[in-house]
Chain A
């Protein structure tokens, strides 16, 4: 068996701090308003930046004249595409942060201004003359795939076909996964169901808009304060986009008001740096909510067809999916991940998923929790639900009969290691929620979901302070309570109280490169790095104690936050506490620290199962959520509150996706609902308390058994809600969001058909 076998089962029997629920170290600052987010930073002499955005969904930029704007009092700089490094390594990002030859979506940046006040900057935008040649546009994924669709990129030839196409198209790539023979499998089935599904593009909906302050010095030394999920990645991208050395840019991550994948790339940061470089003064840039909707990265919308065959005994004989995802104006819709995840919950002999990555005149998509998986799993889990009804089988029993288990060949190829899907399904089936009675117009839905989870480049430091307290420095912004989890793991390893350990997110000059906080990786990767750093520090402290006792280092062991002689033969010494060792560190060799740098692998995949009860108002189509339960495998919950918080957050975002959230485009290619008034996020009053069950099937790749938990929670809700609402309404809902008009229309159509 390959992979790093890190898990220590004996140790896991004896956790004292892991699994407790202490207060988060950043909690007080956040509830008192002291925490500093992206827009809370100001620098002396700073200018305010504003971005001019295309009003057209697709237009050639024939010329830009900024002379009048530059002549205005208080205007200090204007930048356009020419102010960025044309040889930047990521050309799509280069073109997305500032349009070059064409504006590819409404809201695409075409120029930016820095002025002494926001009003002056806004006035200056109006004086920049852009001469556009308006081009035909397309915003719908199926329409964009038609042969006569307006083409966004003349150099886009579909990848993944047997032969390179003769003509460019809006289809960037075709992805295919699977094994076996699906036609043979369908021939063996007693019942085959095939359905079409659609999901709308949704936004991550983070409450804090993108914000940054950039300061480029006359010598080129630069600093950037920014709300981001990955400040090292911001540094890499900005250095490339501006043609500067990485060492000349120091990036500090602010506290972050939500990211969910949407803050894993750059939008305004390189623009602020370019303005600052040109103006010679700091520049602050903050997106409005409208800009967040129109010019940051929502997730893909999809159009899908799924076909599944089953025998009367519940054996699934074949599954096939065709998935079309549009991810905005540039390649990268997570169609491949959708195809890989679609059937991941099942152990199938015959499975095939084909997915197309399509471009349209919409903002470039960004990652959103388990990118690509919620949509395809919605389609598959909806058909599985329907099949269970057709053969009269309990939906959990059908899933259990076909569930992926340890060693199953996954639908995307490799066999699974140790996984917790069956444990989740069994826990969900046994939950009191599943046996609770339902009333009229009420329905229950269940669904499972999967996500890969990742590790990645990680560098963490641990310093033992002179009073024996511990300071941790991590390079992964804390978006879900990870600082508390880091402190817990180090307190566990050093056997000291949680309160003696404090973690900070260090800036890019203080640590080696860290991958972004994404892929549910931080508690796994930064946590494992700190466990290893703590072990190094422990070894050093044992060595220092041994030196003071004049005995060999091997004759000392660590327990209860102190060095101990290993037995009577080693010497008769009282334990030497971490405080004593730290207090004498200057005389025994200097500061005591531990650090660990690595590229983490072995993150361990994650499964979850959700149950939801809804009530549909037949008069209005309004869906009320009555009860919701999340069951998910966490491997080992380091801080159960935050694990439950991730489960609940994922469920709520999935609820929004299922019931209300959608990017609505008009015929003019413009977004119709770029405000939180018209883009309807679920709020607390829409929801019951989301119940949670933490399943713990340890991940062999982590010393404490941790699996990432941040993303899987958003995968099952779309299907769970669709199954629940379909049961309550008496009609299968296949088009998300299931907003009241759509539900009412579906009910009406069924009634009409019955008459």
Chain B
């Protein structure tokens, strides 16, 4: 499984207590499972919903979106609009 440099942002970072870590995963679901395993405090926030940015494209719920090797990955608060 590829390993990604993942940056955490906003309240995701504060809840995890760190801003960057290495996580493995072929897709968003696997990445989030790796994240929760590394930072159990993030469990409720992940369950409530976060957004994942892969190379600048924002995904809110797309578990099986592949993450290419070397991609820029951010986990940020879930976004909404009006």
Contacts and interface: CB of A to CB of B under 8 A. Distances in A.
A255 to B, nearest CB: 19
B10 A601 contact: no
A368 B56 contact: no
B68 interface: yes
Contacts of A159: 11, 14-15
Contacts of B77: 175, 336
Given A413-B74, A414-B53, A601-B57, A2 B68 contact: yes
B3 interface: no
Nearest to B10: A175
B79 to A, nearest CB: 6
Contact of B57 (A340, A412, A518, A602): A602
Interface residues of B, number: 31
A603 interface: yes
Main secondary structure of the interface of A (DSSP, over half): loop
Interface string A242-267: 00000000000000000011101000
B36 interface: no
A160 B79 contact: no
A367 B82 contact: yes
Contacts of A161: 14
B79 A2 contact: no
Contacts of B17: 162
B27 to A, nearest CB: 11
Nearest to A299: B82
B67 interface: yes
A452 B79 contact: yes
B56 A416 contact: yes
B62 interface: yes
A177 B10 contact: yes
B60 A601 contact: yes
A413 B53 contact: yes
Contacts of B10: 160, 175-177, 336, 339-340, 412
Given A159-B11, A177-B9, A367 B56 contact: no
Contacts of A340: 10, 76
B67 A2 contact: yes
Contact of A601 (B9, B58, B71, B80): B58
A149 B55 CA distance: 44
Contacts of B79: 337, 452, 454, 519
A3 to B, nearest CB: 4
A711 interface: yes
Contacts of B55: 1-3, 414-415, 417
Given A3-B54, A159-B15, A518 B80 contact: yes
Contacts of A370: 81-82
A174 interface: yes
A414 B72 contact: yes
Contacts, number: 119
Contacts of A456: 60-61
A453 B65 contact: no
Nearest to B14: A160
Interface in A658-717: 701, 711
Given A2-B68, A367-B82, A413-B76, A603 B58 contact: yes
Contacts of A177: 9-10
Interface in A493-528: 518-521
**Tier of interface size on chain A:** 35 or more
B82 A264 contact: yes
Interface centre among B17, B68, B71, B81, by most chain A C-beta atoms within 10 angstroms, is B81
Nearest to B54: A2
A454 B81 contact: yes
Nearest to B76: A413
Contacts of A599: 60-62
Interface string A349-392: 00000000000000000011111000000000000000000000
A451 interface: yes
Contacts of B57: 2-4, 417, 601-602, 701
Given A599-B61, A601-B59, A412 B81 contact: no
Contacts of A413: 7, 9, 53, 74, 76
A367 B79 CA distance: 11
A518 B81 CA distance: 5
B55 to A, nearest CB: 4
Contacts of A520: 81
Interface in B1-31: 7, 9-11, 13-15, 17
A3 B81 contact: no
A701 B15 CA distance: 32
Given A162-B14, A414-B72, A416-B56, A711 B65 contact: no
Interface in B41-78: 53-62, 65-68, 71-72, 74, 76-77
10 contacts: A159-B11, A175-B11, A336-B10, A336-B77, A371-B81, A371-B82, A416-B56, A451-B81, A520-B81, A711-B82
Interface of A: 1-4, 159-162, 173-177, 204, 260-262, 264, 336-337, 339-340, 367-371, 412-417, 451-457, 518-521, 599, 601-603, 701, 711
Given A175-B77, A340-B10, 9 more contacts: A2-B54, A336-B77, A370-B82, A412-B10, A414-B72, A414-B74, A415-B56, A452-B79, A452-B81
